[in-house]
Amino acid sequence: MKESVYNYFVPYGERIICFNAVTAKVFSVSNLEYDGIKDFLNNPHRDFQHFDFFEKYGFIVGNDINEFDQLLIKNRSAVFDSKFNLIINPTLQCNFNCWYCYEKNINGHMSVNTMNNIKLLLTKLVQEKKISGLKLNWFGGEPLLNFYNVVYPLSLFAKELMEKNNLSFTNSITTNGYYIDEKMIDHFKSIKLFSFQITLDGDKESHDKIRNQRGAPSFDKIISNIINLRNSIPEVFVRLRINYTDEIISKNHEFILERFPPQVRRNMSVDFQRVWQTIKKIDSNKGENDALLKAIETANDLGYLVPLDGFYSIGKYNQCYVDRFYFAHINFDGKVFKCTARNYSEKYICGELTNDGMIKWYNQNTRAEMHVKAHFDNEKCRVCKTLPLCVGPCYQAYLDYKNQETDNFCPQQFREISIETFIINYYLKVKSNYLKHNG
């Protein structure tokens, strides 16, 4: 046996947090106990009292085990998962005009013909038994601009098709939340539209400057709509995305998050995401983003679920849903894309939906290259201890930088929270959950 290369030992007060990045098993020990553990890990032997525990939870592995290869296998399994992840843009038009948006409010709405082609696509995938379920996602533009003529009828068709064939079905939407009303909420129930990502751009002052409808403020209306949505459909989960710049993240987020009643917060997460034009490489010698940590702590204290940082993930073996083989992003005009974080120019078109319900991919070589191996199968990622929590570059970064040094697409160069802080916060969350359920 040998020690896992993905073990972390992080000082925390008078204790040491022990964490394995593959299994996500975490616990703390005294300094004296830690000395004994380190001696054992340097020379694993079955006489050690807790040998089975350390083997079961991945702190030690067999001498013949290549842990990187094990991650490759898990990546292949995740990439070729047979649930079809389908993102649809009913339109690229929007009632807001946010300064940072990479979409240019292109005129146009999905036609009946394109909708019928999507129905044919789903029907063929089910009939040919190529998929085991459907993860339907609505994007845009503002998709609720076309709720009744696109989102609702296509969702209803997809839900009934999956249920008829005993396949799984989930329905989610990325929306600014402005148009949600009582009538729409009733329709959400019948199409199982229970997952929402809704964005606030900081506090009321910052938000209303950026997200307004021809100058009319939207902050109070969106918050009211979210509260009404959560109270009307208890199973609805809202991912409250807070876009931030250095100025926005430095403000007191308690005043924003307290606007939601405690019973509403229980099924909400708060996801702080930097506005992409302000992303910059981080000098690790300058420490962490204290303002971001304070905002996260505030959200935690108020009872929200809070992903600590977008660059660390537990139990995730591919960087993005776009990496998956059974994935397509269909625009309102029937053009097919892969990445949802780029614009809809010709440069990024990957294919098109045909009238017989097929996707015609333009460059099969590029598509094959995308799936032939893990994007973290490179020299830098192979020796990176953070790999199980980072899982390397996304597909688009891989394409953008594949002919350059791998440093250029390492996600860790943009992190604003250290791996040590992530582990400490993860440990505290696991400990809190344990005490809650075990007294």
Is pLDDT at 406 greater than 70 in this prediction? no
- Asked if residue 416 is part of any domain, the answer here is no
% the chain with pLDDT above 70: 95
pLDDT confidence of residue 439: 64
What CATH number is associated with residue 260?
3.20.20.70
Establish whether the linkage from the previous residue to 141 is cis, with ω within 30° of 0. Answer: yes
- Between residues 400 and 229, the one the model is more confident about: 229
- Asked if residue 387 is part of any domain, the answer here is no
On whether the CB atoms of residues 256 and 243 are closer than 8 A, the answer is no
Q: Which of 64-78, 254-268, 409-423 has the lowest mean pLDDT?
A: 409-423
pLDDT confidence of residue 322: 83
Distance CA 30, CA 401 (A): 44
User: How confident is the model over 2-7, as a mean pLDDT?
Assistant: 97
Q: What is the CA radius of gyration of the chain?
A: 23
Is pLDDT at 52 greater than 90 in this prediction? yes
- Between residues 98 and 182, the one the model is more confident about: 182
Residue 209 phi, psi dihedral angles, 5° rounding: -70, -35
- Asked if residue 277 is part of any domain, the answer here is yes
* Reported confidence tier of residue 288, pLDDT bands at 50, 70, 90: confident
pLDDT confidence of residue 137: 98
Residue 304: domain span: 75-361
Nearest to 34 by CA among 51, 53, 15: 15
User: How confident is the model over 86-113, as a mean pLDDT?
Assistant: 90
pLDDT confidence of residue 225: 98
pLDDT confidence of residue 405: 58
* Number of domains within the chain: 1
- Between residues 286 and 40, the one the model is more confident about: 40
pLDDT confidence of residue 20: 97
Q: Please tell me whether residue 296 adopts helix, strand or coil conformation.
A: helix
Is pLDDT at 48 greater than 60 in this prediction? yes
* Reported confidence tier of residue 342, pLDDT bands at 50, 70, 90: confident
- Between residues 288 and 157, the one the model is more confident about: 157
- Asked if residue 229 is part of any domain, the answer here is yes
pLDDT confidence of residue 59: 97
- Asked if residue 306 is part of any domain, the answer here is yes
Pairing status of strand 193-200 against strand 237-244: parallel
- Asked if residue 165 is part of any domain, the answer here is yes
User: How confident is the model over 163-168, as a mean pLDDT?
Assistant: 98
- Asked if residue 305 is part of any domain, the answer here is yes
- Asked if residue 425 is part of any domain, the answer here is no
Is pLDDT at 323 greater than 90 in this prediction? no
What's the burial of 342, exposed, middle or buried (CB within 10 Å: 0-12/13-18/19+)? middle
* Average model confidence (pLDDT) across the chain: 91
pLDDT confidence of residue 435: 86
